[in-house]
Amino acid sequence: MNNLLILGAGQFGLMVKEIAEDMNCFDKIDFLDDNNEIAIGKLNNYEKFSREYRYAVVAIGNPEIRLSYIQKLEEACFIVAIIASPNAYIAPSAQIMKGSIIEPMAVVQANSAVAVGCIISSGAVIRHNAFVGDVCHVDCNAVVMSGSVVLAKTKVEACSVYRNII
């Protein structure tokens, strides 16, 4: 029963589904969403799907909502999945935590860490020894410099360079 439930069926959710399909490890992938007819149920009905779906991920941009649903999913005994494109580079020594989404062409270098529920967008680079805190979003073509710490709930804007060495 390697079924995946994606919370959020908007544009981001559809992209997450394509990445999950590329991972080729889920038997079935469905959505929960309050405003999209492709969803099999509403967001707050996640508990009723816990027997049929072993894995879940939150594809909602708002970091507060994303973190809240990650916690709720764990309490309901889902495994909160890591969705990482096979077309991303993730160093063997890098750590990616539950609920994070690594898009195609992203790079996560040696000894770096991406915490819970992060979004690392296409073309983003997390340089070596960097830390990205909970529910951050490193947008397209942004760079987090070596040794930097991105504080929780931060959005690193597209095409920017982030330096915060603590």
Q: Are residues 71 and 90 in the same domain?
A: no
Residue 72: alpha-carbon gap to chain centroid:
16
pLDDT of amino acid 165:
80
Task: Give per-residue pLDDT as tens, 130-161.
Answer: 999 999 999 999 999 999 999 999 999 999 99
Task: Give per-residue pLDDT as tens, 88-97.
Answer: 999 999 999 9
Beta strands in the chain (DSSP E): 3-7, 28-32, 55-58, 79-80, 83-84, 89-90, 95-96, 101-102, 107-108, 113-114, 119-120, 125-126, 131-132, 137-138, 143-144, 149-150, 155-156, 161-162
Domain boundary among 65, 80, 95: 80
Task: Give per-residue pLDDT as tens, 107-128.
Answer: 999 999 999 999 999 999 999 9
Total structural domains within the chain? 2
Q: Are residues 33 and 64 in the same domain?
A: yes
Q: Are residues 89 and 157 in the same domain?
A: yes
Task: Give per-residue pLDDT as tens, 72-81.
Answer: 999 999 999 9
**Domain of 67?**
3-80
